[in-house]
Structure 1
């Protein structure tokens, strides 16, 4: 995090830039109206790595502008993504959200919520793919028989359905137990997104394979779903970051009283 915020009288002066901002722009010309929470402007107000503050930055503030609009994304094209630039951007001190230097917990809490939401998004992609390939495999005939009568196709359908249902159970379990005002849910937030992100892309990949050439074109939807699913292995935390975080959190629980892993929630 390189963006800085320096107190100057009854204002903060922000300098830096934020990349990959969801809804950073709508028309490619101007910023959105305001940025807070997931699109918040977090800026360092001290020298410590966790000395982070949260500000509400509004459209039209001097020094706040739109940088580049990200073009030609692989997927999620309906979601505008852009860079936000702060060049001596003056923000009233009243726009500080919470206490100065105390935003890290808020940021991490919001990240946990985001990861559960992204897992649910991947779950939706998987369900649509199962529905599409199931319909196609029943209606399509090859060699005088329905496509779903062949063992390889049955494997794609059966494994996809089972993995979708497993992901559904995990998402609902974590969402049901998640307290929105709490921090420290990282183990399952990482776990559910890691599983569902990979699961959704794998199911979409199978759907394309079941449909063959038709699956590779836009008319049958699944190629778009595959492109959208790929982002969920990157956005909100990469798979590699989830691996690191899960092992770190599990190792902290070694030696703790009682069972030390997430299945306590079941």
Structure 2
């Protein structure tokens, strides 16, 4: 029987390298990216220079070929200092994994090397205004026309929209076909005529990662840009999410760990009633509960990552469980960290309020935690 997961010396080396990079070249820009609501270009350049912007891309296409666990470690360590920056490797994996899983060799060879080099980023477009959790209700259409497809409609809440050069877009290709089996996936390029972006969303958190609508007005897509077979798009999309919701779990762990780190440093310095507040048993109990929650979430993430690498049959359950648990932990731990800092925690002089705002989205995107519980329950009921 395979071990649930095993970290190697390579994993430890990756963690050390990413942590150093994050603290020295990403953390200094985190507050500014949040305050200005600007994409952290300095973080992107630092990640590209270190080959951590898309570590999952296979070596055959010029990538680092990192396994799922290593990719999670990268995302976790970046999220520890800046959640917005951690979405660079996370969204690159989400956008490009459908290609890795299902695209033709020609499509992979065209789009994965630029991603691996850092010349282009990749985003993922599934949700719409009226088709969030209910993905099969999407209205975006791709109509065959000669050797091409003509795309019309919109996509909502797309991470890093406008920054990414490439987009994996899901659209209905057979309006009269069976529900869910009438959707296909395509690669859309930023330069395609008729493709544009809506205004940036004004968000609670992850403000350094632009979230915008994608708008398609008779966008002509060459037929060879389809990902997988016609009608297989939703199956590819859901299989992708089985793997990539683990990266959101890793992001949540990183946010929670960063909050815990700051809270620990503060309570060891802050004095009240003549002693450090870390000496009060009530504070110690809070810290212990926070650390216990972070570590259990981390272990779940790493187990799910190992299952992703092995394509285990129970990946859907473990991916959903890791994402659900880790994001709930991130929300709880960041809230407690703000509480430990008292009035200071509520100000922008410390990063805790930003981390608390950033944590909330991990309970929502790539499937709300209510949807994750449905996924888990269905797996349990199937036996």
The bucket for the TM-score relative to the shorter chain is: 0.7 to 0.9
Q: How many pairs does the alignment contain? A: 243
> Which of residues 35, 60, 75 is equivalent to 2:191?
60
Q: Residues 206-254 of structure 1: CA distance to partner in whole angstroms, max 9, x if unpaired? A: 100000001111221111110000000111111111122211111111x
Structure 2 unaligned blocks of 5 or more: 1-137
Q: Which moved more, 1:206-215 or 1:91-100?
A: 91-100
Q: Normalising by the residue count of structure 1, what TM-score does the alignment of the two structures yield?
A: 0.87
Report SS of the residue matched to 1:218: coil
Q: Give 1:16-95 correspondences, 5 Å limit.
A: 16-26=153-163, 32-35=164-167, 40-46=168-174, 47-50=177-180, 51-71=182-202, 73-95=203-225
Give how far 1:184 is off.
6.0
Shift of 1:129: 1.2
Map of 1:211 onto structure 2:
341
Which protein has the larger Cα radius of gyration, Structure 1 or Structure 2? Answer: 1
Alignment of 1:254-265 (within 5 A): none
Where is the helix percentage greater, Structure 1 or Structure 2? 2
Q: 1:109, 1:182 within 8 Å by CA — same for their partners in 2? A: no
Structure 1 residue 182: deviation in Å?
A: 7.2
1:137 CA displacement: 0.7
User: Which one of 248, 262, 265 corresponds to residue 135 of structure 1?
Assistant: 265
Query: 8 Å contact 1:109–1:183 — kept in the other structure?
Result: no
CA distance in 1, matches of 2:345, 2:228: 49
Q: CA deviation at 1:5?
A: 0.8
- Structure 1 unaligned blocks of 5 or more: 27-31, 254-266
Alignment partner, residue 356 of structure 2: 226
Change (3 A) 1:184 1:41: farther
In structure 2, how many angstroms separate the alpha carbons of the residues matched to 1:203 and 1:67? Answer: 34
Show the counterpart of 1:262.
none
In structure 2, do the counterparts of structure 1 residues 59 and 194 end up closer, same or farther at CA, with 3 Å as the change threshold?
Answer: same
Distance (Å, rounded) in 1 between the aligned partners of 2:336 and 2:251: 18
Secondary structure of 1:75's counterpart equals coil
CA root-mean-square deviation: 1.5
